C-alpha cells in the first residue's frame, strides 16, 4: 500500500458488490452499501475521501480526480461544491463523516490509528440526474442509493 501511495498519491479501497447500484444482487445480502475510500491524503494532513454506491470504475475515477486536486493544494471543506466537466455528469458536495472509525479500516491500519483517533473522512455526496441532492425536494434516488453521512458503515 505504501508503494501505491508513493506512486499514485492514494490507495483506493472498494468495499461491497461489483455493481454499486440499488436493487442489484449485491444488495440482497443485507449488508451496508458499497463504497470506496482513499488512503494517503491523511499523510499530507488532509481528510481521506469516500463515495457511496457507485460502480468501482466510477469510484476510482472520482476519488483519483478529487485526490489529485488535494495533492495540488486544494483543501476540501464541508459544503464545498465540486464539478467534473465532461468526465462525470454529476456534481458533488463535500460532507464530513461523523463515524470514520466504522468505515476507514484500511486507512486506520495504514496510519496505525486507533478507533478513538480515526483518520477523518469526507463523503463526496453526488446529485441525481435532475441535479438535486439528497436533502432537496424531488431527489430521485432512494435513501439506500446514497445514505447520509453517519447513517452507514462498513
Residue 61 belongs to a domain: yes
**Exposure string for 5-26, b = 16+ CB within 10 A, e = fewer:** beeebbbbbbbbbeebeeeeee
At residue 21, the pLDDT reads 52
- CA angle 110-115-120, nearest 5°? 70
Q: How confident is the model at residue 28 (pLDDT cuts 50, 70, 90)?
A: low
pTM for the predicted model, two decimal places: 0.90
Categorize the per-residue pLDDT at 140 as very low, low, confident or very high, splitting at 50, 70 and 90: confident
pLDDT higher than 90, residue 112: yes
**Residue 60 sits in which domain range?**
2-126
Question: Is 44 within the bounds of a domain?
Answer: yes
Residue 16 belongs to a domain: yes
151: in domain: no
pLDDT in tens, 78-106: 999 999 999 899 999 999 999 999 999 99
pLDDT of residue 42: 98
87 inside domain: yes
Amino acid at each position: 500500500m505504501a508503494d501505491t501511495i508513493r506512486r499514485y498519491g492514494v490507495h483506493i479501497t472498494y468495499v461491497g458488490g461489483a455493481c454499486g447500484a440499488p436493487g442489484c444482487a449485491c444488495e440482497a445480502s443485507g449488508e451496508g452499501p458499497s463504497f470506496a475510500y482513499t488512503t494517503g491524503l491523511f499523510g499530507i494532513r488532509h481528510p481521506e475521501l469516500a463515495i457511496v454506491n457507485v460502480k468501482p470504475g466510477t469510484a476510482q475515477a472520482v476519488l483519483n480526480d478529487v485526490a489529485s486536486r488535494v495533492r495540488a493544494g486544494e483543501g476540501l471543506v464541508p459544503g464545498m461544491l465540486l464539478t467534473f466537466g465532461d468526465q462525470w455528469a454529476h456534481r458533488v458536495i463535500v460532507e464530513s463523516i461523523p463515524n470514520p472509525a466504522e468505515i476507514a479500516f484500511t486507512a486506520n491500519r495504514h496510519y496505525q490509528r486507533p478507533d478513538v483517533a480515526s483518520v477523518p473522512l469526507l463523503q463526496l455526496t453526488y446529485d441525481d440526474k435532475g441535479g438535486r441532492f439528497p436533502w432537496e425536494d424531488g431527489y430521485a434516488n432512494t435513501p439506500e442509493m446514497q445514505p447520509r453521512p453517519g447513517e452507514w458503515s462498513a
